[in-house]
């Protein structure tokens, strides 16, 4: 299946682009959104390490695909933790059936540091409510069956609703114009007087809620995608060298595949990919420990959660420069021909740069340093 996703991505690149609709059909039919569910709930019983290994493999094939599912896997994790509640059991059944959940939360309007207020409004309308507003960075919503939407009610309280993605008034603009992760549907979602039934309201789950896990999973998913991209960089570098016939008059060997300098470049790329993947999986083990405790006890252990957050942050700080350099060094293997647009090799750097621009590294590094020097706790926020 993953090979089929990779082939579909290659075909779309060569034909000028397009959405990964076929890949999402495969995801649904193989129920990859349910892999974290235990077998008795219709899943595959994956550990967090298993999940991140899958994400790395998917990202090597097409980095847009696991990025699209990032919110879905987070929603699934919350349902697992709360599965004792009747309202959450029904969603677990839907997840096991292949239903995909997305979310729209971010807005482009100015926010004060430390606040989670929304300009999107939830107003009373008879026995129900109406949603009105505009969201951005709507990653995955274009491909989802249901959306978790955040808004402020008449009292200014933060609320969340879970509604069908195709409900009247929900408009997916598909206007994402970022330099990378082009087909993730990360642009605008307009909510035009969208009806919300009272039983479609769900817990807001504020990041500061002590009963809620920290946000290490959505962070590490981005880094796992980066690790998968590095695997693709290595594969492309090896293929470039194997298929390259021309070389320079001053090259160290007559054949590119025997040139020690070019082989060294590929060796460094392979080592960078290994370091990134190993780091992601080490951080995944800490998340396994935290998640297992939360699911077994119905409550989070802040010590475990904080360790998982710290390792996810260190992963980002540790692999960002390594990954971006590797994506640039790829061109040393292919020479000027590698820069042709038809080779599409620039996609790796653009996708990595886009991923790493989520929650910028200087903020992460500062928090890590403050923790090391002053033993300051990791912030209880969705970005850690």
Which domains occur in the chain, in start order? 2-99 (1.10.540.10), 104-202 (2.40.110.10), 216-374 (1.20.140.10)
Residue-wise pLDDT for 194-249, tens only, equals 999 999 998 876 655 656 788 899 999 999 999 999 999 999 999 999 998 877 77
pLDDT for position 336: 87
Angle between helices 70-81 and 260-297 (to 10 degrees): 30
- Which position has the higher pLDDT, 203 or 163? 163
Residue-wise pLDDT for 310-321, tens only, equals 999 999 999 999
- pTM equals 0.96
Reported for 293-301, long-range contacts at CB under 8 A and 24+ positions apart, including other chains, are 294/81, 294/213, 295/80, 295/81, 298/81, 298/84, 299/211, 300/210, 300/211, 300/212, 300/213, 300/214
pLDDT for position 244: 87
pLDDT confidence bin for 84, thresholds 50/70/90: low
- Which position has the higher pLDDT, 124 or 295? 124
Contact 149, 110 (CB under 8 A): no
For residue 227, report the phi and psi dihedrals to the nearest 5 degrees.
Answer: -65, -40
Q: What is the C-alpha to C-alpha distance for residues 147 and 101, in angstroms, rounded to an integer? A: 6
Angle between helices 48-61 and 216-243 (to 10 degrees): 40
Pairing state between β 158-164 and 146-153 = antiparallel
DSSP string, 52-87: HHHHHHHHHH-THHHHHTHHHHHHHHHHHHTTTSHH
Contact 224, 60 (CB under 8 A): no
Residue-wise pLDDT for 264-296, tens only, equals 999 999 999 999 999 999 999 999 999 999 888
Q: Any idea which residue has 């969208």 for tokens?
A: 194
Contact 204, 160 (CB under 8 A): yes
**Vertex 131, ends 162 and 203: CA angle to 5°?**
35
- Which position has the higher pLDDT, 245 or 259? 259
Does the pLDDT at position 44 exceed 90? yes
- Which position has the higher pLDDT, 202 or 328? 328
With pLDDT > 70 as the criterion, what percentage of the chain qualifies? 95
How many residues are recorded in the chain?
A: 384
Q: What is the C-alpha to C-alpha distance for residues 58 and 298, in angstroms, rounded to an integer? A: 31
In DSSP terms, 152 is beta-bridged to 121, 158
Q: What are the structure tokens assigned to 255, written together?
A: 């054949």
Question: Which helix (H) or strand (E) element contains residue 29?
Answer: helix 21-29
């Amino acid at each position: 299946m993953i090979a089929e996703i990779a082939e579909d991505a290659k075909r779309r690149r060569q034909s000028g682009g397009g959405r990964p609709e076929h890949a999402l059909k495969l995801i649904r039919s193989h129920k990859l959104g349910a892999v974290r569910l235990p077998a008795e709930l219709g899943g595959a019983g994956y550990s967090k390490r298993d999940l991140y290994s899958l994400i790395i493999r998917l990202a090597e094939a097409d980095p847009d695909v696991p990025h699209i599912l990032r919110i879905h896997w987070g929603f699934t994790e919350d349902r697992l933790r709360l599965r004792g509640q009747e309202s959450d059991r029904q969603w677990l059944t839907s997840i096991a059936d292949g239903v995909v959940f997305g979310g729209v939360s971010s807005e482009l309007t100015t926010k004060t540091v430390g606040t989670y207020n929304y300009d999107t409004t939830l107003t009373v309308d008879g026995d129900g409510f109406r949603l009105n507003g505009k969201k951005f960075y709507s990653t995955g919503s274009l491909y989802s069956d249901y959306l978790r939407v955040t808004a402020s009610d008449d009292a200014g309280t933060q609320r969340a609703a879970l509604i069908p993605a195709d409900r009247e008034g929900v408009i997916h603009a598909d206007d994402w114009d970022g330099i990378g992760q082009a087909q993730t549907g990360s642009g605008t979602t307009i909510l035009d007087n969208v009806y919300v039934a009272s039983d479609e309201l769900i817990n807001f789950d504020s990041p500061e809620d002590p009963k809620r896990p920290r946000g290490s999973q959505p962070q590490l998913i981005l880094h796992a995608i980066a690790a998968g991209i590095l695997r693709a960089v290595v594969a492309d570098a090896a293929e470039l060298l194997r298929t390259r016939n021309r070389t320079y008059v001053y090259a160290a060997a007559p054949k590119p595949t025997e040139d020690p300098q070019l082989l060294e470049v590929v060796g460094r790329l392979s080592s960078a990919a290994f370091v990134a993947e190993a780091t992601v999986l080490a951080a995944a083990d800490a998340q396994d420990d935290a998640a297992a405790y939360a699911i077994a006890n119905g409550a989070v252990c802040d010590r475990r959660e904080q360790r998982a957050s710290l390792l996810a942050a260190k992963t980002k700080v540790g692999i960002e420069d390594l990954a971006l350099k590797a994506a640039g060094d790829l061109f040393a293997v292919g020479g000027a021909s590698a820069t042709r647009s038809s080779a599409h090799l620039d996609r790796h750097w653009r996708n990595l740069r886009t991923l790493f621009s989520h929650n910028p590294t200087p903020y992460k590094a500062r928090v890590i340093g403050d923790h090391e020097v002053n033993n300051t706790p990791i912030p209880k926020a969705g970005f850690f």
